[in-house]
Amino acid sequence: MEKNSLVNLLSPKEWWVEEHEFEIDNINYYETIFTIGNGYLCTRGSLEGTHTASFPETFINGVFDHNDSSIVHMVNTPDWIPVHIYANNERLCIQNSKVLEHYRVLDMRQGTLYRRTRFEDPEGNITCFETLRYASFSEQHLCEMRINITPENYSGEVVIKSEIDGHQFNLDRIPAYGNIRTFDPEVKWKKWAKSKHLAHITTKSLEKDTLYLEMKTLDRPHRIGYASALNVLNYKPTTKRLMNDYERTQHTIVVDAKKGKTIELEKLATIYTSREISRNEIQNSCHKTLQENLKAGFEKRFNTHKKVWINKWDKCDIQIVGDPKANHAVRFSMYHMLIAANENDPTVNVGAKSMSGEGYKGHIFWDTEIFTLPFFVYTQPETARSLILYRYHTLRGARENAESTGYKGARYPWESADDGHEETPKWSADGQNRIWPGEEEIHITADVVQGVFTYYIATGDTDFMLKFGAEIIFETARFWASRLEHNEEHDRYELSSVIGPDEFHEHVNNNVFTNWMARWNLQKAAETYHWLQSNHRDHLTILTEQLDLKPSEIDHWREIAKKIYVLFDPETKLFEEFENYYKLRDVTISNWDEHGLPIYPEGYGDFNSGGTMLVKQADVVALMYVLSDEFDDETKKVNFEFYEPRTMHSSSLSTSVHSIMAIDTRCVKRAIHYFHHTAFIDLHDRKGSTEDGIHIAASGGTWQSVVAGFGGMRVKNRKLTFKPWLPTNWEELHFKLQWHGDELKVCIRHEEAEFYWETEKTDELAIEVMHNHLVLRPNTTATFKFTPEAREIEIPVDEEKAAEFDKPGE
């Protein structure tokens, strides 16, 4: 590779995700997995020059709009990527020109996307086009692209046109649940991108060759400004033109290029919205940030950006010695979580497809609290705090959801966007199926509280609990108290017409997951009240006045929590997922796909399995993971063995939970199998829907499968506990956890585990390993040896059971 090639800026290869050729059918998949971002915004990995299948999207976290689309969308904001090149009057285009080489690398370590394409025109002139782009993590309002163009075997005129394009649409009316794509990949995006959310405010030139574009959203009050510059660094251009079109700005640079001498350019775009500054300041801020960064020079810009990345990785990186592929997949999952969450903005969150695609329109689900949040809590607690504060900032919407449906307190929306109102569509996009979770999947309200406690227990952030957490906990408890129905005959409390995580079954009564979580929410609210009473009386006084909370209400919560109905048979230790579940048809799963995942028994699918015992995704099994220390090992095992063979894993959330629970229940073969599914779900496009965006809950689930599954980490009674088990080919597993402001480094081998507690504190930290008490002294390594006997008692591998689960695709 040439000395000045941009590839030299990349990290070592183990951090790369590569693409080796341009294939129109896969291009939208690559757009998703090559998304770059910094939490404030993300840009899909679309190519710089367009092609027919291209669907470039930049999402700015928190910018939503409704207008005439069927539901509120995370807006596809102006595109800063376009760069078109012409050599000797010939447009060089990935689809129509002769391509000698096309290669891209996502460098996960520093959040950059590198591209190299070599074109040959009809005259035999060869041009090498290289770019390197990133969204700066040190200056979140800055995006940059370095561009190298090398005329390899000719001298002549090269024209570079760079644009900011505000003429963007969102997808709508695309069959969200259809497996069959009825249209050609080459036209589909243009065909379905019909939703307009942006209107033109201005396009103009600012001083110093800078262009400015401002757009507004149509029914939300956002203004979005982009300033941009294009500079050639080592040639004197023969022409430089600026053009302001309607909804588009364009820089043109013409260069008399010399054979073999690379033209080096920099494209910078700065972006601000009225979400973070006042409307009147947007243009100035864009301009100022742009000029400052131009002045700073590439090295400084790039190095400060890299430094933030390195710090982030330093806190979370995982090493799996002996399994580089798994290690790579785990890093890929963490990369996508890191670019999706903004620690600096407590009013935004992470959508189910992050900001990497249009799936679920940027809406936020329980995916955050149960699947992605733990990664942030234990590796980037400041970001976790912001994610939970989003729920605090949307509390008003949650209160209105409760009130508008006749209940008290706060009911969090199943699908949330910018204000906490329920955003779940009532119908599937093709109009064929009624969607009920917006009305019935109420467990989300308790899941939010679960997130609050995960964060609080791991960080000890009392300030957060006092200012924000307690209010969420009380208001959600109020919701449950009003939503639970008293069954006079049995003197118990019930929840009718709900949907549990298993969405195959709608309008069910007493779903175990929902009832148990509601009870837990009420108990936690009563505990929190008691804690405030004993430790923060003044604060309690303010809060009770503000919320008009009386001690009698707390007594009532305690009372009803005791009487919530749970379908459990103490003899078999089996939970019945919901009332009359056992009466449904017990259809047997007997076919598995090439990945070893179930294929629907004939005649059944996502929308008509309600009459069967087929389960969409972990439900009872998920409860035993989410509130792990409330269930003994035997109960976990019995329920896993009952529900696992009936589970379709039709949601991407299912396999990570199964991987973890398979270890808890000693079905270690299944643990590895499910881990692979969750870890490679997007990298290998296992669901065939990665083009719509990353399954971010599976990314979080991947981290949890490693740390809580193989690493066996759980928090029990506010204490860190470990019960690790490693697959045979994993020689060592290294991970780090943030715990009460300090870092715990963990290294697990087959025969021992090492813990190093890095802290400035002088006291000891008590943890538990394989049920043994272990005391960690500050800045000292403690080693725990696994005796074969102890391992056999804790995680005996049930070979017979493992063999029984040997399904194809392993």
- Single-letter amino acid code for the residue at 568: F
517 binds ligand BGC (CB under 6 A): no
Say how far apart CA 353 and CA 332 lie, in whole Å. Answer: 15
What are the residue numbers of the active site?
Answer: 503
User: What mask of x and - would describe binding to ligand BGC in positions 477 to 516, judged by CB under 6 A?
Assistant: ------------------------x-x-------------
Query: What is the nearest approach in angstroms of ligand BGC to the Cβ of residue 636?
Result: 21
Within 175-194, the residues that bind ligand BGC by CB under 6 A are: none
Give whichever of 582 and 607 is closer to ligand BGC, judged by the CB atom: 607
Residue 339: CB minimum distance to ligand BGC, A: 18
Interface with ligand BGC in residues 99-138 (CB under 6 A): none
Q: Which of 30, 134, 366, 390 binds ligand BGC (CB under 6 A)?
A: 366
For the CB of residue 30, give the shortest distance to ligand BGC in the complex, in Å.
22
Please say which residue, 253 or 352, places its beta carbon nearer to ligand BGC: 352
Q: Residue written as tokens 């129905």?
A: 485
Taking the chain, what is the end-to-end CA distance rounded to the nearest angstrom? 39
- 20 CB-contact burial (10 Å; exposed 0-12 / middle 13-18 / buried 19+): exposed
| Side-chain-facing half-sphere of 85: CA atoms under 13 Å | 29
Angle at which helices 443-459 and 512-535 cross, to 10°: 40
Q: Decide: is 697 part of the binding site for ligand BGC (CB under 6 A).
A: yes
Least distance in angstroms from the C-beta of 350 to ligand BGC: 11
HEC string of 64-82 equals: EECCCCCCCEECCECECCC
Residue burial 470-505, b: 16+ Cβ < 10 Å; e: rest: bbbbbbbbbbbbebbeeeeeeebbbbeebbbbbbbb
* Sequence-distant contacts of 221-224: CB under 8 A, at least 24 apart: 221/274, 222/63, 222/65, 222/75, 222/273, 222/274, 222/275, 223/273, 223/274, 223/279, 223/282, 224/60, 224/63, 224/77, 224/78, 224/198, 224/271, 224/272, 224/273, 224/274, 224/282
Contact by Cβ (8 Å): 67, 219: yes
Write the interaction track for ligand BGC spanning residues 601-640; mark x where CB under 6 A is met and - where it is not.
---------------xx-----------------------
- 3-state SS of 462-497 is HHHHHHHHHHHHHHHHHHHHHHCEEECCCCEEECCC
Q: Of the candidates 117, 379, 511, 651, which one interacts with ligand BGC according to CB under 6 A?
A: 651
**Which residues partner with 144 through β-bridges?**
134, 268
Which stretches of 536-667 are DSSP H helices?
537-547, 551-562, 620-626, 633-643, 654-664
Interface with ligand BGC includes 653 (CB under 6 A)?
A: yes
Question: Measured from the CB of residue 59, what is the shortest distance to ligand BGC in angstroms?
Answer: 17
Judged by CB under 6 A, does residue 422 bind ligand BGC?
no
# binding residues, ligand BGC (CB under 6 A): 12
Residue 253 or 350 having the CB closest to ligand BGC = 350
Q: What is the dihedral of CA 556, 557, 558, 564, to 10 degrees?
A: 110
Which residue, 508 or 737, has its beta carbon nearer to ligand BGC?
508
Residue 50 or 651: which CB sits closer to ligand BGC?
A: 651
Is 130 or 422 the residue whose CB approaches ligand BGC more closely? 422
Is position 342 an interface residue for ligand BGC (rule: CB under 6 A)? no
Stretch that binds ligand BGC, among 271-279, 363-371, 619-627, 782-790 (CB under 6 A): 363-371
Which is closer to ligand BGC, CB of 351 or CB of 469? 351
Task: Report, in Å, the least distance between residue 516 CB and ligand BGC.
Answer: 17
d(CA 202, CA 18): 39
Task: Determine the interface stretch with ligand BGC among 358-366, 540-548, 672-680, 704-712 (rule: CB under 6 A).
Answer: 358-366
Residue 157 CB, nearest approach to ligand BGC (Å): 50
Shortest Cβ 374–ligand BGC spacing (Å): 16
Q: What's the min distance (Å) between Cβ of 425 and ligand BGC? A: 12
Region of 12-20, 359-367, 504-512, 744-752 interacting with ligand BGC (CB under 6 A) = 359-367
Which of 345, 367, 461, 619 contacts ligand BGC by CB under 6 A? 367
24-43 residues in contact with ligand BGC (CB under 6 A) are: none
Nearer to ligand BGC (CB atom), residue 543 or residue 657: 657
In DSSP notation, 408-420 reads -S----SSB-SSS
User: By C-alpha distance, which of 635, 622, 238 is closest to 447?
Assistant: 622
Q: 727 and 659 in contact (C-beta within 8 Å)? A: no
Residue spans of beta strands (DSSP E) within 276-400: 319-321
Please report, as ranges, the residues that interact with ligand BGC according to CB under 6 A: 352, 360, 365-367, 501, 503, 616-617, 651, 653, 697
